A = this chain, B = another copy of it.
Amino acid sequence: MNENVEQRVGLLTAVRNGLGVLHELTGVIARHQGDIRSVDIIEQSENGTRIYFELDLPGSPEDLVHDIGELEAVHNVEAVQTMQKIYGKRIVIMGGGAQVGQVAVGAIAEADRHNIRGEHISVDTIPLVGEQALAAAVRAVTRLPRVKALVLAGSLMGGEIEHAVREVRQQGLLVVSLNMAGSVPEACDLVVTDPVQAGVMTVMAVADTAKFNVARLKRREF
């Protein structure tokens, strides 16, 4: 086996509850030159906690799985298929329920067409009300893994939400808005009037299987 070939490995561990367990696990992974790409602490019950890692590893995972299994805090460890392979890129839609639902219909139908051709796109939504709650949710999108684009679906958004949109765009996130009242549309990459089309266009913009490129569009409003 060529030790220089890095591979992405999924590791599911069941561990005892307690402080410092994650510190022990990451110590073993660092010793094996594992570059951790994601960590999920899934459920904590009285019987223990399950922690899921994705990491890039030189060579095969058998030795790492063995050494993690030797830790006193570890009940079980196994190599599993990675999330990137299963769930892939994420689109997040947020705003008012009626409009979020229609954007979702467009985005899901379009994601289906691309996923059939080998893409991995999932569509996440959060129905939400209020300027502060929405601004916090917009900012939090950049703390979620695998998110490529955000759609704001509502009838009136502005103020603090506009500031949040400008911040997350600076961090490289694509932001699409429905055509609506308030200052949010001005702050977005793309403004679309029909909610179904907004969902379709957003998925097209992040799909490698599509030819649609927002930067090349001659207009920004549809």
Contact residues of A with B, CB < 8 Å? 12, 19-20, 22-23, 26-27, 29-30, 33-44, 50, 52, 80-81, 83, 86-87, 96-98, 100-102, 104-105, 108-109, 111-113, 115-116, 121-129, 133, 136-137, 140, 142-145, 172
Question: Which residues from chain B contact A40 at a C-beta distance below 8 Å?
Answer: 38-39, 143-145
A135 vs chain B, min Cβ distance (A): 10
Using Cβ atoms and an 8 Å threshold, which residues of chain B touch A35?
19
Q: Give the CA-CA distance A42 to B36 in the complex, in Å.
A: 11
Contacts of A137 in B (CB 8 A): 86-87
Contact of A26 among B26, B101, B125, B133 (CB under 8 A): B26
Contact of A140 among B83, B101, B108, B142 (CB under 8 A): B83
15 inter-chain pairs at a CB distance below 8 angstroms, sorted by A residue, are A20-B26, A23-B27, A37-B44, A38-B40, A39-B41, A42-B142, A42-B144, A43-B142, A86-B136, A86-B140, A96-B112, A100-B112, A101-B104, A121-B127, A122-B124
Point out the residues of chain B lying under 8 angstroms from A124, CB to CB. 122-125
A115, B127: Cβ atoms closer than 8 Å: yes
- On chain B, the residues within 8 Å of A126 by CB distance are 87, 111, 122-123
Q: How many chain copies does the complex carry? A: 2
Closest B residue by C-beta to A147: B42
Set B34, B80, B116, B145: member contacting A19, Cβ < 8 A: B34
Expressed in whole angstroms, the Cα–Cα distance for A102 and B108 within the complex equals 10
Task: Say whether B87 contacts A109, CB under 8 Å.
Answer: no
Instruction: Return chain B residues, CB-CB under 8 Å to A102.
Output: 105
Residue with the greatest number of chain B CB neighbours at <10 A, chosen from A33, A97, A133: A97
Chain B residue nearest in CB terms to A143? B52
Give chain B nearest CB distance to A39 CB in angstroms.
4
Q: How far is the CA of A129 from the CA of B120 in the complex (A)?
A: 11
Q: Which of B29, B41, B101, B128 contacts A37 (CB 8 A)?
A: B41
State the CA gap A37–B42 with chains docked (Å).
8
Q: Contact at B125–A125, with CB atoms within 8 Å? A: yes
